[in-house]
Amino acid sequence: MASAIAGDSETVSDIRDQSMGSEPDPTASACRKTVLPNGLRVLTEHIEHVDSVSLGLWIAGGAREDPAQVPGTTHFLEHMFFKGTEARSALQIAEDIDDIGGQVNGYTDREAVHLHARTVADQLEPALQLLFELVLRPLCAEEDVDRERGVVLQELAQLADAPEDLVHELVPQTAWPEHPLGRPLMGTPESVQHIDRSSLLAYLSELRRADRIIVAAAGRVEHDRVVELAAVNGGQLESGHAGPKVEAPRFHPGERLLAQNGAQVHFCLVTPGFARTDDSRYAFSLFDTILGGGTSSRLFQEIRENRGLTYGIGSYSQPYREAGLFVIDAGTAPDNLYIVLDLVEKELERLRAEVPAQQELERAKTQLRVALALAAESTSFRMQHLAVSEMFWGRHVSFEETAAGVEAVTAEDVHSLAKGAFTEDRRALIAIGPFRDEGRPK
pLDDT of residue 246: 82
Question: CB neighbours (10 Å) of residue 193?
Answer: 12
pLDDT of residue 427: 98
The half-sphere exposure of 79 on its side-chain side, counting CA atoms within 13 A, is 23
Angle between helices 358-375 and 411-419 (to 10 degrees): 90
Overall average pLDDT of the 282-297 stretch: 97
Alpha-carbon distances of 288 from 2, 58, 317, 351, 415, rounded to whole Å: 48, 28, 8, 12, 12
Q: What is the DSSP letter of 91?
A: H
What is 16-234's CATH topology?
Cytochrome Bc1 Complex; Chain A, domain 1 (3.30.830)
With residue 385 as reference, give the H or E element that holds it. Answer: helix 379-393
SS3 state of residue 320: coil
pLDDT of residue 17: 53
SS3 state of residue 397: coil
pLDDT of residue 439: 58
pLDDT of residue 392: 96
Question: CB neighbours (10 Å) of residue 51?
Answer: 11
Overall average pLDDT of the 45-71 stretch: 95
pTM of the prediction? 0.90
Alpha-carbon distances of 62 from 58, 75, 215, rounded to whole Å: 10, 8, 16
Instruction: Report pLDDT digits (tens) over 387-418.
Output: 999 999 999 999 999 999 999 999 999 999 99
pLDDT of residue 18: 52
Mention every residue, 6+ apart, whose C-beta is less than 8 A from residue 155.
Answer: 186
The mean pLDDT value of the chain amounts to 91
Please state, in angstroms and rounded to a whole number, the distance separating the CA atoms of residues 387 and 397.
Answer: 10
**Beta partners for 118?**
54, 103
| Alpha helices, H only, 176-222 | 189-193, 197-207
Instruction: Report pLDDT digits (tens) over 326-355.
Output: 999 999 999 999 999 999 999 999 999 999
Asked whether the beta carbons of 50 and 105 are under 8 A apart, the reply is no
Instruction: Report pLDDT digits (tens) over 118-137.
Output: 999 999 999 999 999 999 99
In the chain the first and final C-alpha atoms are separated, in Å, by: 69
Q: How many secondary structure helices (H) and strands (E) does the chain include?
A: 15, 12
Q: Does the structural domain 254-433 have CATH classification 1.10.630.10?
A: no
Domain boundaries, given as residue ranges, for the chain: 16-234, 254-433
Overall average pLDDT of the 289-297 stretch: 96
Q: What percent of the chain has pLDDT above 70?
A: 91
Asked whether the beta carbons of 241 and 417 are under 8 A apart, the reply is no
Q: Is the pLDDT of residue 436 over 80?
A: no
Please state, in angstroms and rounded to a whole number, the distance separating the CA atoms of residues 349 and 340.
Answer: 14
Of 23, 48, 65, 78, the catalytic one is 78
Please state, in angstroms and rounded to a whole number, the distance separating the CA atoms of residues 283 and 406.
Answer: 7
Q: Is 78 a catalytic residue?
A: yes
Q: Is the pLDDT of residue 429 over 80?
A: yes
